[in-house]
Amino acid sequence: MPGNLLIILATSLLVIALFHRLRLPPVLGYLCVGLLLGPSAFGWVDYDDNLPQLAEMGVVFLLFTLGLEFSLPKMIALRQVVFGFGSLQVLACGLPLTGLLLWIGMDIGVACLIGAGLALSSTAIVGKELGSLGEVFSPHGQNAIGVLIFQDLVAVLLLTLVPALTGDRQDAWYWAVATTLGKTLLLFVGLLAVSRWLLPRLFREVAQVHSAELFVMLALVIVLLTAWITHLLGLSMALGAFLAGMLLGESHYRHQVEADIRPFRDILLGLFFVSVGMLIDLNQFAEHGALIAGIALTLLLVKGSVIALLARLRGNDLETSWRTGVALAQGGEFCFALVTQAQHGRLLDGQQASLLLSAIFCSMVLTPPLLRSAPRLAAYLQRRARGADPLEAIAAHSTTLNNHAVICGYGRVGQSIARILEQQAIPFVALDDDPVRIEEAAAGERNVHFGDSRRADLLEAVGTLRARLLVVAVNDADIALKVVQSARQLHPALPILVRTRDDSHLARLQAAGATEVVPEVMESSLMLASHALVLLGLPRSRVEAHMEAVRRNRYRLLHGYYPGGQANLVDAHGQPRRLLHAVNLNEGAYACGRTLGDLRLERLGLEVQGIRRLGAPLQSADETLLQDGDAVLICGGLQAIEAGEALLLTGSD
């Protein structure tokens, strides 16, 4: 097992890095890793009994974190979705799927069992993707999570029915169902009592110790203990973990618990998807590719259509209905277990089981791209609903504007700027690509429009050629860069103000034509520093002059920082952060007796922030001669700092 685990993690590292570059969901990467390493491809990993048990813990951790976000009051509010919509979904999807299985000649008992299993969806994929897209609490997200909770309970019931159909179980199936429901109720009551009286005291004691290790350990113990107890009761470990997380979600410690277990969840969930990929026989695709594709598409169409229709009948709007259908249309991981058990019990032959597993796998692979394309499709449909050519409507709204401001990105920052402009009676027009935000804003403001700010034709439609200022307030620095490039080509003389998170993209934005770049982190640091200087007794005019000098120098004084032990050395886009590092020149260092100009550190991408000699700061310039004992403070990326230190000490870079 250790060797298998090493191969899986090493291969996942390479494949997920590649998928990240290609902007593909990591779930697909893990599934591909399983396919590559499985017995039908390279066969580097043996599928033993330990791997699925370890991988199942990924689903347990995922459901626990989802439960943390759904506190008990929220779940009570969702009871109609869980039990009403959930039961209707399983019944309405199970019946036509059972009918299709009967049509191809399957026995009625097996067809009902497998049909109900195919009605279940993938908790792991849907939960993971909704979380990464930030749609857990959207209307379709709440529908999906509520139905998945009910499906987990149904999965346990179905798995208990397999022995009854094979003749290995003595008691009747209805006793098995009643026993399972009773165990679920007992588990809920027990967890409710523990979460009310025991867990708050435990967390309070651990929090008073101020030990991060103890807090992480307690969080892991809670998750694993809950899963173990649920397993002993013969229930789904994922269902028990969700109940535990839901009850713990009412405490003050839920955010810390969620942050502590996230790394374990992501790694174990990756192992789960790898284990799913390893179950698939690639030879089946070569022999019966068209049949597998047909089964997978039929499953997606039948389930997606039925679920969308049910959501619409329950009063959801059209968009929420079809997005709920897209989210739940695939087959689920519990159906893998159900088909496997049915094959072992000789209810299905090997050919039937293999075809079903391959089709379910294909439906799961298609789900992440479908979920990720749904927001763009929804935005397109909304634009179509508003009119055939939104550009003409936007241009008509903006035709009277002149010497106005254009705001690209209408989030918190963009809205704050708009309010201040409105107070000063300065006209403005705003663009944003979030349809929900625009729908809310457009109810009270006619000058806020939906659209991609990177499009030159859209910038022209909002009157950028007549504008006095363009403010780029989007969150993504790459998008901001493209907006600046498009605007600069359209209007070479237009002042462009760009807001960024930090200074990592400052040079690129300035090179693209941004007039001013305001890094939020830098400005907040300057504001805190200015308040500190005023409180220390310095004259306000002197403080303001000093802060303005820092801004004129493009925040050079604030570039880089000393990394801590837990610092992330790359930003959200995978770019290296600018760091500070002090290089102490000992006797015999290469830089001793040479000037900064001789060393030419800037060619390595480094800035010299300062020099300290005998504990006192020394003005740094090209003609500054370095001496033994000097400390040279350099700023740059990690690789540049390593090269600069080597140059200063040994002369090699």
- Report pLDDT digits (tens) over 98-128: 999 888 888 888 888 889 989 999 888 888 8
Mean pLDDT of 306-334: 89
Is the predicted pLDDT of residue 568 greater than 60, yes or no?
A: no
CA 81 to chain centre: 25
- Distance of alpha carbon 31 from alpha carbon 637, whole angstroms: 34
CATH of domain 2-381: 1.20.1530.20
Range 213-217 average pLDDT: 81
Strand partners, 6: none
Average pLDDT score over residue span 238-246: 78
Residue whose C-alpha is closest to residue 57's, from 192, 191, 236, 181: 236
More confident call, 622 vs 496 = 496
Which range of 70-79, 350-359, 553-562, 577-586 scores highest in mean pLDDT? It is: 350-359
Architecture of the domain delimited by 390-514: 3-Layer(aba) Sandwich (3.40)
Nearest Cα residue to 310 out of 322, 297, 300: 322
What pLDDT is attached to residue 385? 55
pLDDT tens-place string over residues 411-424: 888 888 888 888 88
User: What is the distance between the alpha carbons of residues 597 and 106, in angstroms, rounded to a whole number?
Assistant: 83
User: What pLDDT does residue 404 have?
Assistant: 92
Banded pLDDT at 90 (limits 50, 70, 90) = very high
Terminal-residue alpha carbon distance, the chain:
42
Residue 429 pairs with which residues in a beta bridge?
A: 406
Range of weakest confidence among 31-40, 141-150, 430-439, 507-516:
430-439
Percent of the chain having pLDDT more than 70? 86
pLDDT of residue 300: 93
Q: Average pLDDT for residues 400-409, to the nearest whole number?
A: 90
Distance CA 619, CA 615 (A): 13
CB contact burial 424-443 (16+ within 10 A = b; e otherwise) = eeebbbbbbbebebbeebee
Concatenated DSSP letters of 343-395: HHTTSS-HHHHHHHHHHHHHHHHHHHHHHHHHHHHHHHHHHHHH-S-HHHHHH
Mean pLDDT on 498-513:
83
| Mean per-residue pLDDT over the chain, rounded | 80
Alpha carbon distance 6, 4 (integer Å): 5
Query: Where, residue-wise, is CATH 3.40.50.720 in the chain?
Result: 390-514
Pick the CATH number of 579-650 from 3.40.50.1370, 3.90.950.20, 3.30.70.1450, 3.40.50.300: 3.30.70.1450
- Given this model, what pLDDT does residue 467 score? 92
- Specify the 3-state DSSP secondary structure of 332: coil
Model confidence at 75, pLDDT cuts 50, 70, 90, reads low
What's the token pair of residue 270? Answer: 């990756």
Residues of the chain with CATH 1.20.1530.20: 2-381
202-206 average pLDDT score: 79
The side-by-side arrangement of strands in the sheet containing 516-519 is 448-450, 428-432, 405-408, 469-472, 496-500, 516-519
pLDDT given for residue 303 in this prediction: 94
28 pLDDT band, cuts 50/70/90, is: confident
Nearest to 335 by CA among 106, 122, 147: 122
User: What is the predicted pLDDT for the residue at 73?
Assistant: 65
